[in-house]
């Protein structure tokens, strides 16, 4: 019943759910009795099911053995936050203050492996818990030869040191306010000098060994010049920010805005400087996942209800997402050698189709193995037609990025 309710775009009232039980299974139950079933025990049960699904995932490579073969897991992580009914504020505090519209909020931390599509971490927490805290508390999960890719919200030199100590690697953007020293940690980097050198010699990308922050953490710094129109837009936004704060823009900041700046502890033999920016663009896949979870599965649109019912329904939606993506990932791995442009499935198209095909999906979980194989074959044939990711002009091209790394690995 819960799985079916999670597949619907609209919220399901207790009246609707008891009617569904009666019509589909001949179960006669009052809505008060059903409401009583939503308890802390129900929350713990669906959470345990979610954790079991994560542990039991298969790990087929999505795009072939050559894709990012220098690393074990390529861990991409981000969070999404959304407001929830105010009656849940005692256990799920929002990011706003007392009386603020966001005094109740939830954060979902989601980490996946880019190579296999596996869920590596999926947690529901209160929105007030920030990404940097999550980075610190989950750093033990990172294993040797993993590559960790995250945005600036997770930036922490202490976590970077721990990643390096565990024999793993990180790739991160560099905040503009961080102190940047030369390799010996003695003098600050002169970005005006680097900008002049790159423009005079028509160099688009270069790198230096540096140290960052007062802790003098040694890293590779990769500089990528941005187009002039991007630079002008950055200057305009930064001037607006500084004006609101009553400050003047520093000369150093003006030159920093000419660059995309990335840091990593991976050597050039594992990660060439010119491949850093294309690799970091894969991080956008987690943003697309959140957009689809909200638009397709409506994880942020549950109406007001008691806490145990709300959290149960949210966990059920995440379970449905995992089941769908396991089937989608399996189809993708089977199609990894498909020739031409259609070798990468569209996340949005496949999620929408799988959600709309819930009545075909549910029998797979209840029937015999032989029947399930036949039903899964139908789903495979359905997804392998007209569900391809399309190329779009002037937008990030996932397919070209992917093949860039496959070709690089083969060389």
Q: pLDDT exceeding 70 applies to what percent of the chain?
A: 92
Rounded to two decimals, what is the model's pTM? Answer: 0.87
Give me the phi and psi of 304, to 5 degrees please: -65, 130
Confidence of residue 397 (pLDDT cuts 50, 70, 90): low
CA 118, CA 105: separation in Å to the nearest integer?
Answer: 26
Residues 47, 77, single domain; the answer is yes
- pLDDT greater than 70 at residue 114: yes
Q: Which residue range forms the structural domain that includes residue 70?
A: 41-143+283-411
Residues 217, 338, single domain; the answer is no
Residues 112, 11, single domain; the answer is no
Q: What is the mean pLDDT of residues 79-88?
A: 94
Residues 128, 189, single domain; the answer is no
- pLDDT greater than 90 at residue 353: no
Residues 156, 271, single domain; the answer is yes
Confidence of residue 98 (pLDDT cuts 50, 70, 90): very low
Of 59-63, 313-317, 368-372, the one with minimum mean pLDDT is 59-63
Confidence of residue 252 (pLDDT cuts 50, 70, 90): confident
Per-residue pLDDT at 30:
95
Name the residue with tokens 């409506």: 298
Per-residue pLDDT at 376:
86
Among 211, 245, 275, the domain boundary falls at: 275
Residue 331's region, left for phi above 0, alpha for psi from -120 to 50, else beta, is alpha
CA 317, CA 4: separation in Å to the nearest integer?
Answer: 10
pLDDT greater at residue 286 or residue 340: 286
Distances (CA, A) of 129 to 94, 105, 135, 291, 314: 9, 10, 11, 21, 18
- pLDDT greater than 90 at residue 140: yes
* Tally of domains within the chain: 3
Of 119-133, 238-252, 391-405, the one with minimum mean pLDDT is 391-405
Q: pLDDT averaged over the chain?
A: 88
Tokens of 392: 């779009």
Per-residue pLDDT at 133:
95
Considering only CA atoms, which of 36, 6, 7, 43 is closest in space to residue 353? Answer: 7
CA 147, CA 132: separation in Å to the nearest integer?
Answer: 18
CA atoms within 13 A on the CB side of 139: 23
Cα 99 to its chain centre, rounded Å, is: 31
Per-residue pLDDT at 100:
47
H helices then E strands: how many in the chain? Answer: 16, 9
State pLDDT tens for residues 32-48: 999 999 999 999 999 99
pLDDT greater at residue 164 or residue 63: 164
Per-residue pLDDT at 5:
87
Per-residue pLDDT at 60:
81
Confidence of residue 339 (pLDDT cuts 50, 70, 90): low
Residues 106, 122, single domain; the answer is yes
Residues 295, 398, single domain; the answer is yes
- DSSP helix/strand/coil, 339: coil
- pLDDT greater than 50 at residue 120: yes
Residues 309, 199, single domain; the answer is no
pLDDT greater at residue 325 or residue 406: 325
Per-residue pLDDT at 356:
81
CA 115, CA 66: separation in Å to the nearest integer?
Answer: 10
Residues 113, 168, single domain; the answer is no
Among 275, 291, 320, the domain boundary falls at: 275
β-pairing verdict for 259-264 and 169-173 = antiparallel
Among 221, 240, 275, the domain boundary falls at: 275
Considering only CA atoms, which of 280, 261, 278 is closest in space to residue 207? Answer: 261
Residues 139, 164, single domain; the answer is no
Q: What does 222-287 look like in DSSP terms, one character per residue?
A: EEEEPPHHHHHHHHHHHHHHHHHTT-PPPHHHHHHTTEEEEEE-S-TTTS-HHHHHHHHHTTHHHH
Per-residue pLDDT at 43:
96
Per-residue pLDDT at 337:
62
- pLDDT greater than 80 at residue 191: yes
Per-residue pLDDT at 394:
56
Widest CA span in the chain: 79
Tokens of 350: 């496949």
Per-residue pLDDT at 83:
94
Residues 132, 70, single domain; the answer is yes
The 8-class DSSP code of residue 7 comes to H
Residues 382, 399, single domain; the answer is yes
- pLDDT greater than 70 at residue 411: no
Tokens of 219: 């890293």
Considering only CA atoms, which of 290, 298, 299, 313 is closest in space to residue 47? Answer: 313
- Show Cβ contacts of residue 203 under 8 Å, excluding neighbours closer than 6 positions: 197, 225
């Amino acid at each position: 019943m819960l799985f079916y309710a999670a597949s619907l775009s609209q919220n399901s009232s207790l009246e609707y759910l008891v009617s569904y039980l009666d019509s589909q299974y001949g179960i006669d139950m009052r809505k008060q009795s059903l409401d009583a079933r939503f308890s802390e025990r129900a929350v713990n049960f669906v959470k345990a099911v979610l954790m079991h699904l994560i542990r039991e995932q298969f790990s087929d490579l999505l795009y072939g053995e050559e894709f990012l073969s220098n690393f074990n897991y390529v861990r991409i992580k981000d969070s999404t936050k959304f407001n929830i009914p105010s009656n849940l504020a005692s256990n799920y505090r929002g990011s706003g203050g007392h009386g603020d519209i966001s005094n109740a909020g939830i954060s979902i931390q989601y980490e996946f492996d880019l190579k296999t599509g596996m869920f590596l971490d999926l947690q529901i927490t209160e929105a007030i818990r920030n990404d940097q805290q999550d980075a610190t508390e989950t750093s033990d999960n990172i294993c040797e030869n993993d590559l960790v890719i995250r945005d600036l919200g997770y930036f922490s030199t202490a976590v970077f040191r721990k990643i390096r100590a565990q024999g793993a690697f990180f790739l991160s953007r560099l905040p503009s306010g961080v102190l940047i020293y030369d390799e010996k940690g003695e003098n600050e980097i002169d970005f005006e000098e680097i900008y002049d050198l790159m423009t005079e010699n028509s160099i688009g990308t270069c790198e230096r060994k540096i140290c960052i922050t007062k802790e003098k953490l040694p890293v590779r710094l990769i500089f990528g010049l941005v187009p002039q129109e991007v630079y002008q837009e950055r200057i305009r936004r930064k001037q607006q920010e500084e004006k609101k704060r009553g400050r003047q823009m520093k000369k150093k900041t003006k030159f920093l805005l000419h660059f995309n700046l990335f840091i990593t502890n991976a050597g050039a033999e594992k990660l060439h400087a010119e491949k850093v920016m294309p690799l970091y663009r894969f991080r956008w896949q987690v943003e697309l996942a959140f957009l689809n979870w909200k638009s397709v599965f409506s994880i942020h649109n549950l109406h007001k209800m008691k806490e145990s019912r709300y959290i149960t329904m949210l966990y059920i939606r995440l379970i449905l997402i995992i089941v769908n993506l396991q089937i989608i990932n399996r189809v993708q791995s089977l199609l990894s050698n498909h020739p031409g442009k259609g070798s990468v499935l569209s996340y949005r198209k496949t999620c929408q189709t799988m959600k709309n095909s819930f009545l075909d999906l549910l029998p797979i979980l209840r029937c015999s193995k032989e029947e399930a194989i036949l039903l899964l074959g139908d789903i495979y044939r359905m997804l392998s037609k007209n569900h391809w990711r399309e190329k779009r002009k002037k937008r990030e091209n996932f397919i070209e990025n992917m093949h860039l790394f496959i070709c690089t690995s083969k060389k």
